[in-house]
Amino acid sequence: MAFEGLADRLQGTIQKIRGKGKISEADVKEMMREVRLALLEADVNFKVVKQFVKKVSERAVGQEVMKSLTPGQQVIKVVQEELTNLMGGEQSQIAVAKRPPTVIMMVGLQGAGKTTTTGKLANLLRKKHNRKPLLVAADIYRPAAIKQLETIGKQLSLPVFSLGDQVSPVEIAKRAVEKAKEEHHDYVLIDTAGRLHIDENLMGELKEIKELSNPDEIFLVVDAMTGQDAVNVAQSFNEDLGISGVVLTKLDGDTRGGAALSIRSVTEKPIKFVGMGEKMDALEAFHPERMASRILGMGDVLSLIEKAQANVDEEKAKELEQKMRTMSFTFDDFLEQLGQVKQMGPLDELLKMMPGANKMKGLDKIQVDDKQISHVEAIIQSMTKDEKIHPETINASRRKRIAKGSGTSIQEVNRLLKQFEDMKKMMKQMSGMQGKGKKKGMKFPFM
Ligand SMILES: Nc1nc2c(ncn2[C@@H]2O[C@H](COP(=O)(O)OP(=O)(O)O)[C@@H](O)[C@H]2O)c(=O)[nH]1
Ligand SMILES: [Mg+2]
């Protein structure tokens, strides 16, 4: 899994200070030492690391006191915010030329994923934005490069412009833009050639294409697996050619994360998209905030903490956590929790925000429709005191009685009982993991 080492280390560090009621300067120092090591190990540029640690330390020591979070949580929030800043704001929009077509030039080293990303991007433009892109085969050097793009075009049922491998890429690009105008394509995606290393010939050719086809965007495609090298490549391309954004590919692989974390601050150009696989739909907008949360293994734990603090009083939450941990959670607790949680937002969204929730198998199957909550409440209210504590005693005839009493159906009663059972299983799994220390940084429910 991508970012595993970094995530593990940072989460371990966080775990140490999470519950702390007071944070001393020494605590922050100690934490920053570990954060620094974690980032360096993840192949993040050392200058970037230095700046990052400085910023977080300053903010963490002299931070404004927020009533809703403990000092430990506040430091975590600072780390999360600064990680987000490091990767820049969200930038996934694509330029639109005043007069169509919008021309996008794809550049990068050989094997970075240019041709694949050209196809993915065209697919995205058509599917999400209802555009009509023209793909342009301007890599005449790599054997079968044209064929590769044509195959992708066929697969997506999108037109590919090619003049074979005897016409110069500069000419191909120029004629492609003309053709796009004639045929009213609103986007032109130029797939260019790469080399194994940056060289002058390549840059010269790319510059010429740039001059003659006047692109609205130049997307540099880099392979996330190459870490620091990806950052160096980005810097060179940006200096020589002036790029408008970066597409980071192979983030589905085992990358340590250095490229994702350094590119923005080294080149000052945003990561716009990330490649998450070889398939044509495996291109995603890059969300720095989500990425930061993912690296810290917190789901959206911070916003969850905020929501929780606003709606549930702390004592109650602690009590509940205790109950969940000791498995003495009953339908009565469930009912009470429902009342509080109802004010916090859609239930399945809340479930997904729980730390570690992304690792929980079957969570997606637990569906709680807010409209059904009143039914659920009615069902629980129709249970006897004893049934609420020992739901395993609710046999067929009791289910029938409960359904009748609550004005619902047996199916609904069955479903709720099943969900409750699943939920308890999930809690057991989570607290089990925590007990064994298998997944650091996970605590249930949200503190
Ligand atoms: N796993 C994974 N593989 C990718 C991704 N993007 C591209 N590839 C693969 O990387 C290899 C090189 O891609 P290609 O588009 O030919 O690179 P180019 O030389 O820059 O045009 C191909 O085998 C692609 O399937 C990605 O996001 N994830
Ligand atoms: Mg290619």
220 phi and psi angles, rounded to 5 deg: -90, 125
DSSP 3-state of 368: coil
Q: Which CATH superfamily is domain 2-87 in?
A: SRP54, nucleotide-binding domain (1.20.120.140)
Instruction: Return the beta strands (E) in 12-107 as ranges.
Output: 102-107
Cβ–Cβ < 8 Å for 305, 355: no
Are the C-beta atoms of 406 and 378 separated by less than 8 Å? Answer: yes
- Both tokens of 348, joined, read 């399945």
Report the C-alpha gap between 442 and 356 in whole angstroms: 6
* Residue 139 tokens, joined: 């890599």
Q: What is the mean pLDDT of residues 234-244?
A: 95
Report whether residue 119 contacts ligand 1, using a CB cutoff of 6 Å. no
Site to probe by mutation for ligand 1, drawn from 142, 202, 237, 278 as the one with most ligand atoms within 8 Å of Cβ, is 278
- Coil, strand or helix at 305: helix
CATH 1.20.120.140 residue ranges of the chain are 2-87
Tokens of 274: 């990330």
Least confident of 34-38, 340-344, 415-419: 340-344
Q: Kindly state the tokens that stand for 324.
A: 């969940």
Any residues with CB less than 8 A from the CB of 401 and at least 6 apart, and which? 382
Residue 2 has pLDDT above 70, yes or no: no
Report the nearest atom of ligand 1 relative to the CA of 108: 20
358, 301 Cβ separation under 8 angstroms: no
338-346 long-range contacts, Cβ below 8 Å, gap at least 24? 338/373, 338/376, 338/377, 340/311, 340/312, 340/316, 341/311, 342/370, 342/373, 343/311, 344/307, 344/308, 344/311, 344/312, 345/307, 346/370
Strands 133-138 and 245-249: what pairing? unpaired
For the Cβ of 88 lying below 6 angstroms from any atom of ligand 1, the answer is no
Give CA–CA dist 167/420, Å, rounded: 67
What is the rounded CA–CA span in Å between residue 251 and residue 276? 5
Domain with CATH 1.10.260.30 in the chain: 312-427
Rounded Cα gap, residues 157 and 171, in angstroms = 25
Q: 219: left (phi > 0), else alpha (psi -120 to 50), else beta?
A: beta
- Give the 3-state secondary structure of residue 69: coil
Name residue 188's beta-bridge partners. Answer: 103, 134
Q: What's the rounded Cα separation, in Å, for the pair 9 and 84?
A: 18
How many CB atoms neighbour CB 222 within 10 A? 28
- pLDDT surpasses 70 at 286: yes
SS3 46: helix
List, by residue range, all CATH 3.40.50.300 domains of the chain. 102-298
Nearest to 109 by CA among 229, 212, 216: 229
Residue 386 sits at φ, ψ, to 5 deg, of -70, -40
Please tell me whether residue 304 adopts helix, strand or coil conformation: helix
CA dihedral 178, 136, 224, 95 (to 10 degrees): 30
Instruction: Give every strand in the sheet of 283-285, ordered side by side.
Output: 160-161, 133-138, 187-192, 102-107, 217-223, 245-249, 271-275, 283-285
Confirm whether residue 191 is marked as ligand binding. yes
Stretch 269-280: mean pLDDT, rounded?
Answer: 94
Cα 52 to Cα 329: distance, rounded to the nearest angstrom: 43
Rounded to the nearest 10 degrees, the angle between the axes of helix 4-17 and helix 25-41 is 170
Ligand 1 pocket mutation pick from 249, 280, 286 by most atoms within 8 angstroms of CB: 249
Q: What is the CATH number of domain 102-298?
A: 3.40.50.300
Residues with CB under 5 A from ligand 2 (ion): 114-115
* CATH number, domain 312-427: 1.10.260.30
355 close to ligand 1 (CB < 6 Angstrom): no
Task: Tell me, in angstroms, the distance from the centre of ligand 1 to residue 45's CA.
Answer: 24
Task: Name which of 196-200, 328-332, 353-357 the model is least confident about.
Answer: 353-357
Is residue 235's pLDDT more than 50? yes
List, for residues 412-423, the tens digit of each pLDDT value.
Answer: 999 889 888 877
pLDDT of 333:
77
Q: Regarding predicted confidence, which is higher, 311 or 405? A: 405
Which pLDDT belongs to residue 346? Answer: 57
- In this prediction, residues 259-283 reach a mean pLDDT of 92
Asked which of 174-183, 267-276, 322-331 is least confident by mean pLDDT, the reply is 322-331
Instruction: Give 191-211 pLDDT, tens digit per residue.
Output: 999 988 888 999 999 999 999
